[in-house]
């Protein structure tokens, strides 16, 4: 058995491609970590070595994102779903502590995942409102209306939740709705564009991200939260106010007080995230990665736009995602043929989400410019053959 592999041309939306050198190091560490005679997946989550992994990963995230002292980094089991489920209870508890009142939640429903988050808040018993619902307004997801057209929010709202990049629908916010939500904490799900570009962390109350899209394996989620949001009302006060409680495993203050090790988090998965962070830092940080991602997305969008009779792009130009490029192909049987011929070239993971169909090319950080060029070349050849 060899640790070598031919570099894959894989564009799946997640679990997604990881750098081969990261996986090679992780494979060695899975067998014997730091000459312990044990693999990194076997050590206690409270051991000296595991604590070191937690601490180093936090330091590297802080360096990459220039996270200010006002914010805390922590990790929990799960992914985006556990993130948006747990954020409602925790942000409401922080609001109750600050105001002594039961708050409301605002959701910007701009795609599949923000819709799921909104529905989950309602299911859990929180008072939630969709301040914009693009599908209700337009009949489909594909654009983000200006915030001047959203329902206004005020101090009665504990937070505004939005999904920064809609993985299924290929929609990405180009700016933070900070002015719209003045005085209201902003919660952003960045699962599928986390660490793809520079951001100003100080604009957010909470950032959450499942690791399996852009920085690691499935099973772990990353959180960056304002420290004052960890000051939360107690259980009895929340019960009196009628605010649903968070399960203890997803109670942010408890997780932070235990340095992300209140329960058994997957240390091997966290170790891989740390290896990815080290690689990003060595490559020059997020400014370099952002420029690379911009070139990749521009190259693929350019070839798709060059054949408008064949390729249909459902997302408005101004909100096109750089991570998840979605399109359909006109003509009976052309989508199946596109997948068949691309697969024969070793270009895989291009089938769109089952809920929307079509094609989806996910150009996450680990997808190289060379790999994107291979896809661009094939797409152009396919289009030319259909003239």
Question: What CATH number corresponds to the domain at position 63?
Answer: 3.40.640.10
Q: Is 150 a catalytic residue?
A: no
Are residues 323 and 274 both part of a single domain?
Answer: no
The answer to whether residue 38 sits within a structural domain is yes
- Residue 6 inside a domain? The answer is no
Shared domain check, 191 and 123:
yes
Residues 133 and 265 in one domain: yes
Per-residue pLDDT band for 3 (boundaries 50, 70, 90) equals: confident
Q: Are residues 176 and 322 in the same domain?
A: no
Q: Which of 104, 189, 296, 322 is catalytic?
A: 189
Among 281, 302, 327, which residue terminates a domain?
Answer: 281
Domain membership flag for residue 8? no
The string of pLDDT tens digits covering residues 226-256 is 999 999 999 999 999 999 999 999 999 999 9
Q: Are 134 and 263 within one domain?
A: yes
Q: Give the tens place of pLDDT for each residue, 273-287.
A: 999 999 999 999 999
Percent of the chain with pLDDT over 70: 100
Domain boundary among 281, 315, 336: 281
| pLDDT grade for 167, boundaries at 50, 70 and 90 | very high
Judgement on whether residues 248 and 365 belong to the same structural domain of the protein: no
Total-model pTM: 0.97
Are both 357 and 257 inside the same structural domain? no
* 355 pLDDT more than 90: no
The answer to whether residues 296 and 323 touch, using CB atoms and an 8 Å cutoff, is no
Tell me which of 260, 281, 302 is where a domain ends: 281
Residue 2 has a pLDDT of 77
Task: Read off the CATH number of the domain in which 345 is found.
Answer: 3.90.1150.10
Query: Does 7 fall in a domain?
Result: no
User: Are the CB atoms for 204 and 48 separated by under 8 Å?
Assistant: no
Q: How many beta carbons lie within 10 A of that of residue 252, not counting itself?
A: 24
> Could you tell me if 184 and 264 lie in one domain?
yes
How far apart are the C-alpha atoms of 140 and 257, rounded to whole Å? 43
Residues 31-40 have pLDDT tens digits of 999 999 999 9
Find the catalytic residue in 58, 102, 116, 213: 213
Q: What is the pLDDT of residues 293-315, one digit of tens each?
A: 999 999 999 999 999 999 999 99
User: What average pLDDT score do residues 368-386 get?
Assistant: 97
Give catalytic status of residue 213 as yes or no.
Answer: yes
Whether residues 294 and 274 share a domain: the answer is: no
Q: Tell me, what's the pLDDT at 147?
A: 96
Using DSSP bridges, classify how beta strands 9-10 and 347-348 pair: parallel, antiparallel or unpaired: parallel
Q: How many domains does the chain contain in total?
A: 2
Residue 206 lies in a domain: yes
Q: Which candidate in 29, 58, 102, 113 is catalytic?
A: 113
Residue 111 confidence (pLDDT): 97
Cα(367)–Cα(343) distance, integer angstroms = 16
Residue 177 resides in a domain: yes
Residue 348, token pair as written in the block: 């895989």
Classify 24 as helix, strand or coil: helix
* 114 and 191 fall within a common domain: yes
Could you tell me if 45 and 153 lie in one domain?
Answer: yes
Average pLDDT over residues 141-157: 97
Query: Is 24 part of any domain?
Result: no
Banded model confidence at residue 361, pLDDT cuts 50, 70, 90? very high
Range of the domain at 124: 30-281
Domain check: are 267 and 163 in the same one? yes
Mean pLDDT of the chain: 96
Question: Tokens 């996986």 — which residue?
Answer: 23
What pLDDT digit, counting tens, does each position of 38-90 carry?
Answer: 999 999 999 999 999 999 999 999 999 999 999 999 999 999 999 999 999 99
Residue 216, in any domain of the structure: yes
What is the number of other CB atoms lying within 10 angstroms of the CB of residue 306?
12
Question: What's the pLDDT score for residue 1?
Answer: 66
């Amino acid at each position: 058995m060899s640790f070598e592999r031919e570099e894959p041309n894989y564009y799946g939306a997640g679990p997604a491609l990881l750098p081969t050198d990261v996986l090679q190091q992780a494979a060695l560490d899975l067998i014997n970590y730091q000459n312990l005679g044990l693999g990194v997946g076997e050590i206690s989550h409270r051991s000296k070595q595991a604590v070191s992994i937690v601490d180093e990963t936090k330091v590297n995230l802080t360096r990459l994102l220039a996270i200010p002292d006002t914010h805390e980094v922590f990790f929990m089991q799960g992914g985006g779903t556990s993130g948006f489920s747990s954020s409602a209870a925790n942000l409401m508890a922080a609001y109750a502590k600050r105001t002594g009142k039961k708050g409301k939640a605002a959701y910007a429903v701009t795609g599949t995942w923000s819709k799921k988050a909104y529905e989950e808040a309602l299911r859990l018993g929180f008072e939630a409102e969709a301040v914009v619902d693009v599908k209700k307004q337009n009949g489909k997801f594909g654009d983000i209306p200006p915030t001047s057209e959203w329902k206004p929010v005020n101090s009665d709202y504990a937070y505004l939740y939005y999904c920064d990049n809609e993985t299924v629908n290929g929609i990405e916010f180009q700016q933070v709705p900070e002015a719209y939500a003045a005085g209201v904490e902003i919660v952003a799900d960045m699962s599928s564009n986390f660490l793809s570009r520079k951001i100003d962390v100080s604009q957010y109350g909470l950032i959450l991200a499942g690791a399996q899209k852009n920085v690691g394996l499935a099973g772990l989620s990353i959180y960056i939260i304002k420290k004052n949001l960890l000051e939360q009302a107690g259980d009895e006060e929340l019960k009196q106010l009628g605010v649903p409680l968070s399960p203890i495993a997803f109670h942010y203050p408890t997780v932070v007080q235990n340095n992300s090790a209140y329960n058994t988090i997957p240390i091997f998965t966290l170790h891989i995230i740390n290896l990815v962070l080290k690689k990003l830092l060595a490559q020059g940080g997020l400014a370099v990665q952002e420029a690379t991602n911009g070139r990749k997305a521009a190259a693929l969008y350019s070839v798709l736009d060059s054949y408008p009779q064949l390729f249909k792009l459902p997302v408005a130009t101004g909100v096109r995602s750089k991570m998840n490029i979605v399109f359909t192909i006109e003509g009976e049987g052309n989508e199946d043929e596109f997948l068949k011929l691309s697969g024969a070239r070793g270009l895989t993971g291009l089938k769109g989400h089952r809920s929307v169909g079509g094609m989806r090319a996910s150009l996450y950080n680990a997808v190289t410019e060379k790999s994107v060029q291979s896809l661009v070349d094939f797409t152009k050849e396919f289009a030319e053959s259909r003239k």
